[in-house]
Amino acid sequence: MFKNKKNLRVVVLFCLVVCLSCIIPLHAVCEPKFVFPLTFEDPFWGEGGILALVFAKSVEEMTDGDVKIEIYSDDEWGGGEESYLENVQLGTMPMTLIATSSISAYTSVLSAYDTPFLFRNIYQQMDFTFDSINELSPSVEELLKRAGEEAKCVFLALTPMGRRDIFSNKPINSIDDLKNLKIRTMLSPIQVKAFEALGANVTPLAYGETYTGLQLKTIDAMENSPSIYMQKRYFEVAPYWMGTRHYAVTMVLTMSKKAWESLPQNYQAIIKDCAVRSAYIDGQWAIGNAEMSISTEIPKVTKKMVLLSDEEQNRLREKVLPVLLEEFGDVIGYDILEELAAEDELIKGFLDSKK
């Protein structure tokens, strides 16, 4: 059939290449054994979107395509974070990426992550959260376990995301200008109390109405991350920026017990590992992204940008944090406060005053 061995070798090599091309991307063409939608409110290219993307891709790769995570970003699913968590609890939604502030209605265990100025800076917060790229700290592992039991979910991993600052439709030149400022914050009682301690007038407003609220001057200001400020074009209606670094929103990769228990143990281990690694990487990315945005993008679109000195930052913290600890210390957890107090004189002083 073949005129010579050379032709035979060519045919055999061709067949081998075809076979290998079918085998190597096998997980890409085979149907996955498990498919889980992952919903969240963040934009696809925001901090939450990057976390979801890295997590979904790593799970698919590490399970050879047996587990597929389908991403629904920017509230594409509809309903908002509160309904996401409710559906995860019921088992009708497999996965969500949700802020700790939205979990607080079901458990107060993660309140440390909702407390402005509790951590001296984002680097301390990351160090508190992770032991390494693939390990949460023992304290945080215990917090997630307890929170999951109370909220009737499986909390896989969490990470703080960069920083949040204040932007306004009226000039804010110093921290004294925060007094009587009509500001929209998250509805967490701890968040509201923090801004009241600064003398601001906290004004409730749905997140979807904030752009119009700033435009119509229903509110003077709001707080959010540099990336949201740019992506949602808030600079068009709030061109005054103050870098308060008061808080870093913390997102939790959450899974329903029904979906979790449907998985073999080896896939559970892979998903947990991918969740922690993705959270760690996204936390680092969010820090760098925020700092770059503040250094390059935001100065170009604002009328005035105020970055607080370390001394001014400490003044804010000294004004707010003792008020929060006095009212919410037991909610945050005195075990957590004791751990932080080892390297924080302000928290240590508060605890000493209680002895």
Residue with the two structure tokens 């998985």: 263
> How many angstroms separate the Cα of 281 from the Cα of each of 116, 161, 277, 327?
23, 11, 6, 34
Do the domains spanning 30-162+249-289 and 164-247+302-331 agree at the CATH topology level?
yes
Kind of pairing, strands 130-132 and 135-136?
A: antiparallel
Polymer length in residues for the chain: 355
**Cβ–Cβ < 8 Å for 242, 306:** yes
**Domain chopping of the chain, boundaries:** 30-162+249-289, 164-247+302-331
Q: Which CATH number fits domain 164-247+302-331: 3.30.70.1560, 3.30.420.610, 3.90.76.10, 3.40.190.170?
A: 3.40.190.170
Q: What is the DSSP letter of 30?
A: S
Among residues 315, 334, 314, which one has the least CA distance to residue 326?
334
Q: Give me the CATH code for the 30-162+249-289 domain, please.
A: 3.40.190.170
Judging by DSSP bridges, how do beta strands 164-168 and 221-224 pair with one another? Answer: antiparallel
| Amino acid letter, 270 | I
How far from each other are the two terminal CA atoms of the chain, in whole angstroms?
Answer: 95
pLDDT in tens, the chain (355 residues): 434 444 433 333 334 333 434 444 444 457 999 999 999 988 888 889 999 999 999 999 999 999 999 999 887 887 777 789 999 999 999 999 999 988 988 999 999 999 999 999 999 999 999 999 999 999 999 999 999 999 999 999 999 999 999 999 999 999 999 999 999 998 889 999 999 999 999 998 888 899 999 999 999 999 999 999 999 999 999 999 999 999 999 999 999 999 999 999 999 999 999 999 999 999 999 999 999 999 999 999 999 999 999 999 999 999 999 999 999 999 999 999 999 999 999 999 999 998 8
